[in-house]
Amino acid sequence: MNRRLLTIRAWHGIECVIYGTLEAMWAAVDCGNDFHGFYESLFTGNERPAIMGRIHLVHGHYGGGVVAHELLHAVLDVGFALYCGEDENGDYIVDDAEALCDMIGRLTAQFWRWHYELEENSE
């Protein structure tokens, strides 16, 4: 198993865990056994812990689509908490759409740098 913290801001991040087998991930997540990736939110309400979420993946069972899917879960969860407010009707308003776009770009770049580092070290 490999872990890496993908940073959003200096004090917030998303932890990414890559398991060796699907069975190991399914046991760790405990949400069934029919998925190849999973995003887990680690905060509630106004709480903003340093690790705000966790992405679970399995070596050999993810590609660009699975990674993009799970990172988007993180952006929708964490990004909305950090960069959105509510209007008078209680609907979410994106206060800074560019910050959400920057967030997905930074998370994606960090993940793939880590992925290629792991691949290089395994050769």
Residue 67 pLDDT: 96
**Res 107: pLDDT:** 95
**Do the Cβ atoms of 106 and 97 come closer than 8 Å?**
no
Closest by alpha carbon to 107, among 58, 38, 53? 53
Task: With H, G, I as helix, E, B as strand and everything else as coil, classify residue 73.
Answer: helix
| Structural domain of 46 | 2-122
State whether residue 104 is helix, strand or coil: helix
Return the pLDDT at 92: 80
| Parallel/antiparallel/unpaired status of strands 92-94 and 84-86 | antiparallel
One-letter amino acid for residue 17 of the chain: V
User: Per the structure, how many domains does the chain have?
Assistant: 1
In the chain (123 residues long), the average pLDDT of successive 10-residue segments reads 89 93 93 88 83 95 95 90 84 85 93 94 81
